[in-house]
């Protein structure tokens, strides 16, 4: 009888597994591996809630005061030091000053290092801001935001299992880049680069079968624009090239590789012009390699988003949950989203000082989308681990 019961149980389990969608990554995991994954997941949640060494939020931006004709002082505006610096540089470019002279002089005057050359931002955003003006940049930002949402709406809807998560995924994407809706942040390079990366991510349509070429040229152009604004977009492009090569899409890989080569050449030109302005005795930038660990990642992500309003005991685990969500979805979009967010997450645990917290914006739009797949991954991993009598029902399996 015991053998009969085990046989029937095995048949029932096999039937349940057979009904699981192919895109449900954890549903077919062996019990031992699922239990190890759950244990690691639990440890990461605890560490994220504890976040040893987690730095406090950045201080409030300085208040700028003016004195009126009656001699009364009042607050004219409140601005972040970095935003103020970028506006000063843009104003000088509008007056016709050489960008590299303006940038290095303003950085020096406002207590910023000017060496090495990477401390000077790429000139693209300054020139665009000078040419289009505030109203034009708001219009351009609005168009980019709409294009980013539309591209990801279409791609989510085209991937297996993505249709039912379109609304939540787009809402989370907007939460991850909410700062981009405020025009005062239009001078921040990471805001633009992050949206261009998310646009490229949404536009990418990799080939799914031989003889059916994918659509990736639009994604390539959006990624090139992201690189032109901020060199921190380079890991995204490197992953695109590697991913195309892994799937033997040689023509696409060649295009991404060519983009990398062109960017590296132009970056060297940029560094040449920036370092030509360095004077003896100019302050050097401290190392960006800080090895801050998990607390460094959480600090960047939380202080770049609304999560800064929450206690770290809540905000930290939410970041881990979003990372886990991407790993749950076994599709081309899900696989790439998982690799991208885990890759940037690992990089931000190694590099970026406390005052570089805004780097987190490069990651947050796509990262937050991953939380839409938690209802898929958590029940499936729990059931695969068989920790309860039956475990919760698989999110996408029949009742």
- What are the pLDDT digits (tens) for 132-175? 999 999 999 999 999 999 999 999 999 999 999 999 999 999 99
pLDDT band with cut points at 50, 70 and 90 for residue 38? very high
pLDDT band with cut points at 50, 70 and 90 for residue 7? very low
Residue 3 lies in a domain: no
Q: How many CB atoms lie within 10 A of CB 344?
A: 25
Please name every residue paired with 66 in a beta bridge, in sequence order, or none if there are none.
Answer: 74
Indicate the length of the chain as a whole number: 399
Residue 182 pLDDT more than 60? yes
Top-confidence residue, 357 or 64: 357
What digits encode the pLDDT tens for the residues 260-299? 999 999 999 999 999 999 998 888 898 898 888 999 999 9
**Token couple for 315:** 């905000």
**Token couple for 61:** 């931006």
What is the structure's pLDDT at 166?
A: 95
Residue 64 pLDDT more than 60? no
> Residues of the chain with pLDDT > 70: what percent?
84
Residue 61 lies in a domain: no
What is the structure's pLDDT at 56?
A: 61
Residue 208 lies in a domain: yes
Please, which residues have CB within 8 angstroms of residue 68's CB and are 6 or more apart in sequence? Answer: 74
What digits encode the pLDDT tens for the residues 356-389? 889 999 999 999 999 999 999 999 999 999 876 5
Into how many domains does the chain fold?
A: 1
What is the structure's pLDDT at 154?
A: 95
Q: Is 81 left (phi over 0), alpha (psi -120 to 50) or beta?
A: alpha
Please give the Cα distance from 62 to 370 (Å, whole number): 35
Please give the Cα distance from 292 to 55 (Å, whole number): 10
What digits encode the pLDDT tens for the residues 205-240? 987 665 666 789 999 999 999 999 999 999 999 999
Residue 270 lies in a domain: yes
What digits encode the pLDDT tens for the residues 330-363? 999 999 999 999 999 999 999 988 888 899 999 9
Residue 69 pLDDT more than 60? no
What is the structure's pLDDT at 55?
A: 62
Residue 160 lies in a domain: yes
**Token couple for 396:** 């996408």
pLDDT band with cut points at 50, 70 and 90 for residue 57? low
Residue 4 pLDDT more than 80? no
Please give the Cα distance from 341 to 364 (Å, whole number): 9
Q: What domain range includes position 370?
A: 80-381
> Mean per-residue pLDDT for 98-126?
94
Residue 16 lies in a domain: no
- Residue 386: what are its φ and ψ, rounded to 5°? 55, 50
Query: Taking all residues of the chain, what is their mean pLDDT, rounded to a whole number?
Result: 87
Residue 66 pLDDT more than 80? no
Q: How many CB atoms lie within 10 A of CB 42?
A: 11
Residue 262 lies in a domain: yes
Residue 299 lies in a domain: yes
What is the structure's pLDDT at 80?
A: 76
What is the structure's pLDDT at 10?
A: 47
Q: How many CB atoms lie within 10 A of CB 38?
A: 17
Number of Cα atoms under 13 Å in the Cβ half of residue 291: 0
> Mean per-residue pLDDT for 15-36?
84
Please name every residue paired with 38 in a beta bridge, in sequence order, or none if there are none.
Answer: none
């Amino acid at each position: 009888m015991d053998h009969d019961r085990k046989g029937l149980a095995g048949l029932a389990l096999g039937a349940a597994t057979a009904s699981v969608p192919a895109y449900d990554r954890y549903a077919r995991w062996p019990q031992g591996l699922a239990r190890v994954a759950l244990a690691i997941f639990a440890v990461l949640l605890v560490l994220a809630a504890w976040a040893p060494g987690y730095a406090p939020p950045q201080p409030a931006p300085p208040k700028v005061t003016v004195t009126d004709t009656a001699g009364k002082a009042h607050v004219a505006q409140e601005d972040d030091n970095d935003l103020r610096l970028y506006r000063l540089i843009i104003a000088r470019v509008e007056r016709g000053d050489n960008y590299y002279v303006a940038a290095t002089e303003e950085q020096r005057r406002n207590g910023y290092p000017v060496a090495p050359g990477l401390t000077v931002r790429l000139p693209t955003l300054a020139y665009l801001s000078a040419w289009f003006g505030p109203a034009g940049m708001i219009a351009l930002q609005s168009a980019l935001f709409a294009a980013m949402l539309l591209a990801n709406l279409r791609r989510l809807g085209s991937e297996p299992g993505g249709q039912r998560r379109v609304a939540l995924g787009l809402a989370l994407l907007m939460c991850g880049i909410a700062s981009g809706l405020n025009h005062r942040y239009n001078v921040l390079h990471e805001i633009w680069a992050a949206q261009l990366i998310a646009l490229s991510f949404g536009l990418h349509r990799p080939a799914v079968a031989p003889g059916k070429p994918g659509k990736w040229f639009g994604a390539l152009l959006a990624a090139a624009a992201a690189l032109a604004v901020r060199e921190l977009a380079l890991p995204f492009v490197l992953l695109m090239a590697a991913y195309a090569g892994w799937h033997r899409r040689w023509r696409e890989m060649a295009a991404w590789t060519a983009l990398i080569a062109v960017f590296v050449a132009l970056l060297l030109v940029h560094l040449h012009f920036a370092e030509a302005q360095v004077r003896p005795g100019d302050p050097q930038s401290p190392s960006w390699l800080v090895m801050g660990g998990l607390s460094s990642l959480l600090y960047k992500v939380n202080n770049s988003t609304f999560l800064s309003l929450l206690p770290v005991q809540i905000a930290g685990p939410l970041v881990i949950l979003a990372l886990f969500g991407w790993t749950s979805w076994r599709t081309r979009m899900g696989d790439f989203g998982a690799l991208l967010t885990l890759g940037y997450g690992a990089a931000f645990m190694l590099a970026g000082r406390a005052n570089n917290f805004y780097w987190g914006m490069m990651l947050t739009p796509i990262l937050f989308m991953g939380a839409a797949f938690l209802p898929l991954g958590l029940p499936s991993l729990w059931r695969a681990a068989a920790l309860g009598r039956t475990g919760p029902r698989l999110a996408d399996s029949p009742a």
